[in-house]
Chain A
């Protein structure tokens, strides 16, 4: 067998193995689950550490600064909702309708007790154009 063919076989093997790993990874593990996936079989997810990715339901968020407790509901389709309670500081970019990834455990009462609330920001970048800060550059805001 010529050297080139040996190299070709080795290269194909490496690509095939890596491709297989990636493919299986896609099938078996995901970074987060959605509320509808979890509510379809809640027993499978209860009491285990999970990540839930969804949007903050509009009007559901309540921030209790005294108790340092944030409660809200997440949904991705406005049909399946999971209530979340998070004992910790409200993230700066947390707001109604915001995409979030919540890490925590689902209790018997169906409430997700969060250990971390991550804010998933969008890929959009828009220049600040509101009348008050029109054309205001970072240099100017630095001086404030």
Chain B
């Protein structure tokens, strides 16, 4: 638990040194391209969070056991956080390169939709009366929200967008993978994704622990009330 926190901090610091000290600049964008090393890891973490919400939701609907619900609930908060990061870093990147913070293109709009869906999921968890019914409703929302994830990912293939198409899943006409980045640029990205996943794991474990304690406390308080 503690080592997870420290190692994610160390990994982020290390990646920072790598990216700012030893990574060449991009030919077209120059220095602003560096935000790529926060933007893409945030996307990966956000997708993972959304996947875990769906997994926990499915598990809860099936087994009706609290740990599944805890996983979904905690991941939902991380999905909101990391989709927020995606939107914020995307806007900061968009201003100097595209010339705008925001435009209603399908990629940006579907990403905003994900942020709103998981924010809505968080509101449901925070304000609906706690209990089995809330968990069940949230599980359904958690599964529906996940449908937006493939939509975000494929939006740049299906529709016309301002956002560029995929770099790393690019294929040539025969369908062979041809990632459109130099190794000097993409190797640090793997490091950055690793650091982001460490942070993600730390936050998730931490949040699930808090959640378990909250549930425990609520149970004890309920018992106390019946006594007094």
Across the interface, B185 reaches (CB within 8 A) one of A92, A117, A126, A136, namely A126
Q: Pick the contact of B26 from A18, A30, A92, A126 — CB < 8 Å?
A: A126
Whether B23 contacts A137 by the Cβ 8 Å rule is yes
Contact in complex: B158, A26 (CB < 8 Å): yes
Residue A85 lies at the interface, judged by CB distance under 8 Å to chain B: no
Pairwise interchain contact B159-A126, C-beta atoms closer than 8 A: no
Contact assessment for A121 and B24 in the assembled complex, using a CB-CB cutoff below 8 Å: no
- Are B29 and A93 interface neighbours, CB within 8 A? yes
Cβ contacts under 8 Å, B31 to chain A: 138, 141
Count of residues in B whose CB is under 8 Å from the partner chain: 46
Q: 1/0 per position for B86-122, CB-CB distance to A under 8 A?
A: 0000000000111110011110000000000000000
User: What is the count of residue pairs linking A and B with beta-carbon distances less than 8 angstroms?
Assistant: 115
A40 within 8 A of B: no
Taking the nearest CB of chain A, how far is it from the CB of B163, in angstroms?
8
Residues of A within 8 A of B105 (CB): 31
Option from A32, A101, A125, A129 in Cβ contact (under 8 Å) with B181: A125
Shortest beta-carbon distance from B51 to chain A in Å = 17
Interface size class on chain A is 35 or more
Q: List, sorted by A's number, 27 A–B pairs whose CB atoms are closer than 8 Å.
A: A14-B147, A22-B151, A31-B159, A32-B160, A53-B160, A91-B98, A91-B99, A93-B97, A116-B99, A116-B100, A118-B99, A118-B103, A121-B29, A122-B180, A123-B164, A124-B28, A124-B181, A125-B33, A125-B180, A127-B182, A128-B24, A128-B25, A128-B27, A137-B20, A138-B34, A141-B25, A141-B31
Q: 12 additional contacts, CB 8 Å, given A15-B147, A22-B151, A137-B22?
A: A31-B160, A32-B162, A92-B97, A92-B99, A118-B103, A121-B28, A124-B167, A125-B26, A128-B27, A129-B24, A133-B25, A138-B31
Q: Write the residues of chain A forming the contact surface with B, with a CB cutoff of 8 angstroms.
A: 7, 11, 14-15, 18, 22, 26, 30-32, 53, 91-93, 101, 116-129, 133, 135-139, 141-142
